[in-house]
Amino acid sequence: MTKDFKPAMNNPTPLTPKPCPKCGAPAELGRSGSHRFWVQCSGYLGYGNCTAIGPQTDNKKEAILKWNAMK
């Protein structure tokens, strides 16, 4: 192993939601209580006219991963 090698765990990349798969607007993380998270389009109902919303999950990471997998 070379001394320049750094395992991925030492250099974590911040997990961020991709833009909305329907309209391309920025996405935002939603939260309800202490264990309900989801990602939705910033143009979601009440703030615009996009209806994209990800599934509710038990943690932020899972919510973002599921949002980023949406097509």
Where are the domains positioned within the chain?
Answer: 27-71
Per DSSP, helices labelled H in 1-71 are: 60-69
- What are the strands, taking DSSP E only, across 1-71? 27-32, 36-41
User: What pLDDT digit, counting tens, does each position of 19-39 carry?
Assistant: 999 999 999 999 999 889 999
How many C-beta neighbours within 10 Å does residue 4 have? 5
- DSSP assignment letter at 44: B
pLDDT recorded at residue 8 = 52
Task: Summarize the confidence of residues 4-22 as an average pLDDT.
Answer: 73
Tell me, rounded to whole angstroms, the distance of Cα 8 from its chain centroid: 20
For residue 9, pLDDT beyond 50? yes
Q: How far apart are CA 25 and CA 40, in angstroms?
A: 10
